[in-house]
Amino acid sequence: MSREITFGNYLQDKGLKGTQQRDEVADLFLKADRHFSVEELYRRVQKSDPRIGFSTVYRTLKLLVEAGLATERQFGDGFTRFEPVHREEHHDHLICIKCGKIVEFKDDRIEELQNGVAGKHNFRVTDHKLELYGYCNRCE
């Protein structure tokens, strides 16, 4: 029976300190189900504790990524986004270029074909990115 993967445990295992700021940022981030930009999360954090700085939000998000509790994404709008890893399933994204709506999907047949392509070119694939950009039904 292995220990639950929590932010607190991660910090302890790494010899890092638990702080109010880290807890606050991590809580607000993890309990939401969104693709946050740093700015967005910072604004939310400010509401519950205006003394927490931008740097700490940045730093905590990086720690969450290291802990495997967050994923970093680039959707091409110039802002890095982070999403909580709720289920540990890989997924890809459909992105509305008008309203920013993000839909997640996973298609095993696509993933399989990707592996086929990689194999044909003698690559060992460690990661991939599939993003479909367009207009959602509300924006169309």
Partner DNA sequence: GTTGATTTTGAATTTCATTTTCACTATAAT
Partner DNA sequence: ATTATAGTGAAAATGAAATTCAAAATCAAC
Nearer to DNA, 51 or 138 (CB): 51
Q: Which of 14, 43, 90, 98 binds Zn ion (CB under 5 A)?
A: 98
Q: Which of 3, 31, 78, 108 binds DNA (CB under 7 A)?
A: 78
Q: Does 96 bind Zn ion (CB under 5 A)?
A: yes
**Which residue among 34, 59, 93, 101 contacts Zn ion (CB under 5 A)?**
101
Tokens of 99: 């309203």
Q: 37 vs 19, 22, 72, CA distance in Å?
A: 22, 17, 10
Tell me which DSSP letter residue 69 carries: S
Instruction: Based on the shown chain and the rule CB under 5 A, indicate whether residue 83 belongs to the binding site for Mn ion.
Output: yes
Binding of DNA at residue 46 (CB under 7 A)? no
Distances (CA, A) of 139 to 38, 54, 90, 116: 26, 33, 27, 35
Which of these, 15, 82, 74, lies nearest to 45 by C-alpha position? Answer: 82
Residues that bind Mn ion (CB under 5 A): 83, 104
Residues that bind DNA (CB under 7 A): 11, 15-22, 37-39, 51-56, 58-60, 62, 78-80
